[in-house]
Amino acid sequence: MFVTLEGIEGSGKSTLLQGLAARLESIGLAPLVTREPGGTRTGDAVRELLLGSDHEMTPLVEAFLMNASRAQLVAQRIQPALAAGRVVLSDRYADSSIAYQGYGRGLDIPMLRLLCLAATTGLEPNVTLLLDLSFEDSRARRADRSAADRFEREDAEFFERVRHGYLEMAKSGRRWHVLDATQAPDALLESAWEIVRPRVNVHA
Ligand code: TYD
pLDDT band at 52 (very low <50, low <70, confident <90, very high): confident
> In angstroms, what is the span from residue 19 Cα to ligand 1's centroid?
20
> In angstroms, what is the span from residue 84 Cα to ligand 1's centroid?
28
What sections of the chain are H helices per DSSP? Answer: 13-26, 41-51, 59-73, 79-83, 94-96, 109-120, 135-142, 156-170, 185-196
95 Cβ below 6 A of ligand 1: no
How large a percentage of the chain has pLDDT more than 70? 97
Taking domain 2-203, whether its CATH number is 3.40.50.300 is answered by: yes
Report the alpha-carbon distance of residue 56 to residue 126 in Å, rounded.
35
166 Cβ below 6 A of ligand 1: no
36 Cβ below 6 A of ligand 1: yes
Pocket of ligand 1, candidates 4, 90, 151: which has the most ligand atoms within 8 Å of its Cβ, to mutate? 151
Residue 202, pLDDT > 80, answer no
**Residue whose CA lies nearest to ligand 1 atom number 10:** 37
pLDDT band at 173 (very low <50, low <70, confident <90, very high): confident
Model pLDDT, residue 97: 98
> In angstroms, what is the span from residue 165 Cα to ligand 1's centroid?
15
pLDDT band at 143 (very low <50, low <70, confident <90, very high): confident
Query: Whole-prediction pTM value?
Result: 0.95
The mean per-residue pLDDT over the stretch 174-201 comes to 96
Tens of pLDDT along 84-114?
A: 999 999 999 999 999 999 999 999 999 999 9
Count other C-beta atoms under 10 Å from residue 139's C-beta: 16
> In angstroms, what is the span from residue 123 Cα to ligand 1's centroid?
19
**Residue whose CA lies nearest to ligand 1 atom number 20:** 97
The mean per-residue pLDDT over the stretch 136-155 comes to 82
**Beta carbons of 4 and 125 less than 8 angstroms apart:** yes
Q: Pick the more confident residue, 201 or 168.
A: 168
Q: Pick the more confident residue, 151 or 40.
A: 40
